[in-house]
Structure 1
Amino acid sequence: MPVHHDAFISYSHTADGALAPAFQRGLEQLAKPLLRLRAQKIFRDQTDLTASPALWPGIVSHLAASDWLLVFANPLYAGSRWCRKEVEWWLAERSPERLLIVLTDGDIVWDEARRDFDWARTTALPDCLAGHLADEPLYVDLRWARETPGLSLAHGGFREAVVRVAAPLRGVSPTDLDGADLRQLRRTRLFVRSGVGAICVAAGMAVWQARVATEEARIAETQRQQAEAQRRIAESERAQAEAQR
């Protein structure tokens, strides 16, 4: 079966080893249909890359199978040889319009006159991006989130950031996606409540049946004991009659 990813997360393990997994979970759980494992397939090397003696060819195969590249930008990312190679491959083989930026540290400054990043002040991106974007990219600023533990879709600011990134991945507006997630959440809660209600009814029926069975067993035992007592009386009366004869 061919491998396919909706997006490939390119990140620095040192800088975003905690934030990238949380963001991956958010993308996969946002508006997730009931009974499905995930809403989207997001590649991240520590969850999807198998052991291989040829690391780079394995990464390339997953890049080639991805629709979008998500760049988690920060100074450590900009200085990483591997992260730079991923961006260079994407720019050579895919469209920069399919590249989304999540800023986690440092700065991104756009020079409108040159229609390029101001590389004297931009510290979060590798300079291989120079000249590849015709307009200033609309990136998601998550610099506040790096020191926030336990991030999930329950966190309002984090949820908003996930929605803003997930919307272009799915080809819908953030408003529509946010509404779809809320509707799915209500359906899931209703399903859970219905399931809990059914379990409670089944448990009640089981308890009632157990009580009925116990009562029937008690009655049966009482009847057996009465029958046994009557049998003994009858045997005693026959013995007395025989003795009299």
Structure 2
Amino acid sequence: MSKAGYDAFISCNHAAERAVARALQRTTRRLGRPWYRLSGLRVFHDDTSLPASAGLWSSLEAALRASRTFVPLASPASAASPWLRREVAWWRENRSADRFVIVRPGKAIARDPVAGDFDRDTTTALPEDLRGWFVEEPHWVNLGEDGRHDFRGKAATVAAAIRGIPKDDLLSEDMRQQRRLISLLTGLLVLALVGAATAVWQGRIAASERDRAEQQARLATSRSLAAQAQYLRDRHPTWRACTPPPPTKRSPASPPFSPSRCTSRPCSPAMRTR
């Protein structure tokens, strides 16, 4: 199939089966798709895929021509729809019955084994255009009355028929792709956790280095101030004389040093010898 074509064309009565058709389109596109692709199958449904154009039938005919499989949702409402009957007539005229997959939401289809055709009395879900077309019993999928019970499994049957592969192979491939996606997400989560732990560790190291640098800066500042003070004491004897001596053991008769004994003027000789 070319990139511009479709794997399947879903036809239905919008008033009766729009929700079922959308769910079928969404599920068949996702089954078995690789994790890096948006969809595994290209499925046309006029409610979501039809472009805005002036000619409705010309757009539908172009989509039919580009599709490999025709998937009608069979119901009494669809059988009475002129659009579905026109699409069925086009497919019968231009395509093979082998690529015709009937999906029936209800139980309005019955096969007459004697006549080799659908039972005309009980089959009300198919249009008259399909009478006598199928040499053998066609492939159909019964969604049930409500279309909810095991919908994914029945949609997988439709998707497998569209792909032309066994249903078990499709489900196995879908499970394999899910496991690959889980493994990828797990790996990304582990990388994210390792990155976060590394960032915290580096932040703590940076904080420790910053504290050490600040401590060294304070130590350097104190040493610089001490060196300046020592320099001033060496150049100014008056300041050196007024500087308190280092603490030593003194006799009880010696009075303690008091800064008030020194003034801005040089100390007297008597005070210096004391």
TM-score strictly above 0.5: yes
Give the Cα separation in 1 of the matches to 2:132 and 2:219.
Answer: 100
What letter corresponds to residue 224 of structure 1 in structure 2?
A: A
1:163 matched residue in structure 2: 156
What letter corresponds to residue 17 of structure 1 in structure 2?
A: R
Give the Cα separation in 1 of the matches to 2:221 and 2:17.
Answer: 80
SS of corresponding position for 1:169: helix
Distance 1:78 1:169, change over 3 A: same
Which segments of 5 or more consecutive residues in structure 2 lack a partner in the other structure? 239-274
Distance 1:180 1:45, change over 3 A: same
Contact kept in structure 1, 2:6 and 2:68, CA below 8 Å: yes
- Residues 28-65 of structure 1, C-alpha deviations (whole Å, 9 max, x = no match): 11111131221111111232211111111111111111
- Residues 1:228 and 2:229 aligned together: no
Give the Cα separation in 2 of the matches to 1:119 and 1:94.
Answer: 24
2:21 matched residue in structure 1: 20
Provide the identity percentage: 37
Give the Cα separation in 2 of the matches to 1:210 and 1:180.
Answer: 45
Quote how far apart the aligned CAs of 1:106 are.
4.9
User: Which one has a bigger Cα radius of gyration?
Assistant: 2
- Residues 45-93 of structure 1, C-alpha deviations (whole Å, 9 max, x = no match): 2322111111111111111111101111111111111111111111111
2:233 maps to which of 237, 240, 244: 240
- Residues 1:71 and 2:33 aligned together: no
Which segments of 5 or more consecutive residues in structure 1 lack a partner in the other structure? 149-154
Match runs of 1:43-192 below 5 Å: 43-146=44-147, 148=148, 157-192=150-185
- Residues 132-155 of structure 1, C-alpha deviations (whole Å, 9 max, x = no match): 111222311112444x4xxxxxx8
Give the Cα separation in 2 of the matches to 1:144 and 1:227.
Answer: 87
Quote how far apart the aligned CAs of 1:22 are.
1.5
Q: Which structure's relative contact order is higher, taking Cα pairs within 8 Å and 6+ residues apart?
A: 1
- Residues 1:215 and 2:208 aligned together: yes
Give the Cα separation in 1 of the matches to 2:135 and 2:97.
Answer: 10
Give the Cα separation in 2 of the matches to 1:32 and 1:172.
Answer: 14
Between Structure 1 and Structure 2, how many residues are aligned? Answer: 237
Give the Cα separation in 2 of the matches to 1:207 and 1:226.
Answer: 29
Give the Cα separation in 2 of the matches to 1:182 and 1:87.
Answer: 35
Contact kept in structure 2, 1:11 and 1:83, CA below 8 Å: yes
1:151 matched residue in structure 2: none
Give the Cα separation in 2 of the matches to 1:138 and 1:145.
Answer: 20
1:4 matched residue in structure 2: 5
Give the Cα separation in 2 of the matches to 1:60 and 1:168.
Answer: 22
Give the Cα separation in 2 of the matches to 1:125 and 1:110.
Answer: 12
Distance 1:18 1:53, change over 3 A: same
TM-score normalized with structure 1 length = 0.89
Q: CA RMSD in A?
A: 1.9
